[in-house]
């Protein structure tokens, strides 16, 4: 197992290099550059100062030179300073990453806590009233656009009822709160974003669990279990559940990029201080250091997440052993 993990880590080095090349290439070939943003929209900026700006950022050098200079710094996690406010890009990302991970980990946990029981129950009670009602709810959740749901919930719970804050992660007075007030304040701010980002994935996941469970309940070893005299409950929980949940590990592994990258839509609507909004703002401003920093860090963490998912899968399913 350890040799397998070690090998996977070694193999991921060329992938990471490839990712840096791609990230750089996309940025390099995208029309428009940060000097345009400063110069073209401001008639006071002369052509010379634009030239100076281009020199300062090193944008006049050949692409391989730019790439090499950038790569040398990336190795020590220095993505350069943001073009917008001069802060180091890595610091800006480090500020935003925890908020996004908090939001997404919470919504993944909530999603699993709801969709597994719901999926299992509607598989076991296939075509019952519960199953039908649930199917209807699930398809509604699935078809409602996230931005619409977010705005509606904000209107109802934030404006009409005034129960929940509608933006940000903390209140203005956050600094003065006691420890428990701080926790409470965070929770209140998290409720709507977490709920909205759970909505769509819950619908998909509960269908996965349901169909996985239905499939497993038809397997031959389920007949063996019943013919031993086990109850329905024992068959479902001891024999079927583990088999039905195995594929979820892969699906959760695939959701890791979203976990790190954050959601542009949800974070923007709720003014949530996460990676998604940082990325959106950086792209709009052609803030190269930040965009590339986000690209590289997300890619790196995604790779790591996939390796972890594979290792977990191997330890959960005895039929898979990596060499």
Partner 1 sequence: MPLLSVKNLSVEYKASFGVVKAVDGVSFDVEKGEVFAIVGRSGSGKSSVASAIMRLTDIDGAQIKSGEIFYRETDLLKLSFDDTRKIYGKKISMIFQDPQSYLNPVIKVGKQIEEAVKVHNPKLSKSEIKERAASALKKVNLDDMQRIFNSYSHRLSGGQKQRILTAMAIINEPEILIADEPTTGLDAAVQKQILDLIKELKGKMGLTLIIITHNLKIAEKHSDKTAVMRSGKIIECAPSKEIFKNPKNEYVKQLTNVSYSLPEQMP
Enter the DSSP assignment of 308: H
Name which of 219 and 268 has its Cβ closer to partner 1: 219
Query: Residue 198 Cβ, how far from partner 1 at the closest point, in Å?
Result: 28
Q: How far apart are CA 167 and CA 230, in angstroms?
A: 51
314: buried, middle or exposed (CB in 10 Å: 19+, 13-18, 0-12)?
middle
Q: What is the DSSP string of 219-255?
A: SHHHHHHHHTT--HHHIIIIIIHHHHHHHHHHHHHHT
Closest CA to 217 of 240, 201, 246: 240
DSSP 8-class letter at 31: S
Question: Which residues are CB-neighbours of 69 under 8 A, at least 6 positions away?
Answer: 58, 61
How far are the Cα atoms of 27, 35, 206, 276, 285 from residue 32, in angstroms, in the given order? 10, 8, 44, 22, 10
Q: Which stretch binds partner 1 (CB under 8 A): 3-11, 76-84, 202-210, 239-247?
A: 239-247
d(CA 20, CA 300): 10
Give me the 244-273 binding string for partner 1, x by CB under 8 A, dash otherwise.
Answer: --x---------------------------
Among 234, 250, 268, 306, binds partner 1 (CB under 8 A): 234
Window 199-228: contact mask with partner 1 (x via CB under 8 A) = ------------------xxxxxxxxxxxx
Shortest approach of partner 1 to residue 218 CB, angstroms? 6
**Contacting partner 1 within 73-92 (CB under 8 A):** none
Q: How many residues bind partner 1 (CB under 8 A)?
A: 26
Contact between 323 and partner 1 per CB under 8 A? no
Judged by beta carbon, residue 44 or residue 319, the one nearer partner 1 is 319
Q: Which is nearer to partner 1, 87 or 126 (CB)?
A: 126
Is residue 314 within the footprint of partner 1 (CB under 8 A)?
A: no
Per the CB < 8 A criterion, the answer to whether 120 and 232 are in contact is no
Q: Which of 47, 148, 319, 323 lies at the binding interface for partner 1 (CB under 8 A)? A: 319
Figure out which of the listed residues 135, 243, 268, 306 binds partner 1, where binding follows CB under 8 A.
243
Which positions touch partner 1 (CB under 8 A)? Answer: 217-232, 234, 238-239, 242-243, 246, 316-319
């Amino acid at each position: 197992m350890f040799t397998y993990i070690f090998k996977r880590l070694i193999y991921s080095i060329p992938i990471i290099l490839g990712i840096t090349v791609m990230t750089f290439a996309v940025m390099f070939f995208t029309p428009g550059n940060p000097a345009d943003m400063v110069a073209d929209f401001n008639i006071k900026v002369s052509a010379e100062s634009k030239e100076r700006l281009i020199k300062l950022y090193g944008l006049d050098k050949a692409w391989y030179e730019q790439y090499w200079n950038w790569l040398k710094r990336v190795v020590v996690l220095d993505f350069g300073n943001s073009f917008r406010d001069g802060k180091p890009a890595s610091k800006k990302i480090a500020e935003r990453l925890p908020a996004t991970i908090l939001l997404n980990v919470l919504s993944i946990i909530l999603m699993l806590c709801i969709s597994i029981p719901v999926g299992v129950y509607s598989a076991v009670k296939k075509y019952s009233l519960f199953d039908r009602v649930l199917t209807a709810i699930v398809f509604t959740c699935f078809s409602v656009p996230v931005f619409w749901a977010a705005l509606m919930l904000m209107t109802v719970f934030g404006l009409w009822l005034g129960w929940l804050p509608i933006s940000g992660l903390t209140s203005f007075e956050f600094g003065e709160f006691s420890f428990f007030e701080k926790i409470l304040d965070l929770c209140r701010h998290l409720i709507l974003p977490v709920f909205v980002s759970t909505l769509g994935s819950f619908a998909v996941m509960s269908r996965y669990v349901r169909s996985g469970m239905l499939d497993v309940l038809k397997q031959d070893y389920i007949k063996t279990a019943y013919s031993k005299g086990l109850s329905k409950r024992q068959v479902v929980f001891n024999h079927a559940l583990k088999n039905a949940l195995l594929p979820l590990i892969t699906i959760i592994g695939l959701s890791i990029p979203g976990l790190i990258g954050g959601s542009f839509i949800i974070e923007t609507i709720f003014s949530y201080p996460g990676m998604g909004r940082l990325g959106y703002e950086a792209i709009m401003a052609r803030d190269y250091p930040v965009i590339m920093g986000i690209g590289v860090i997300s890619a790196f963490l995604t790779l790591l997440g996939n390796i972890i998912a594979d290792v977990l899968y191997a330890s959960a399913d005895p039929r898979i052993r990596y060499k």
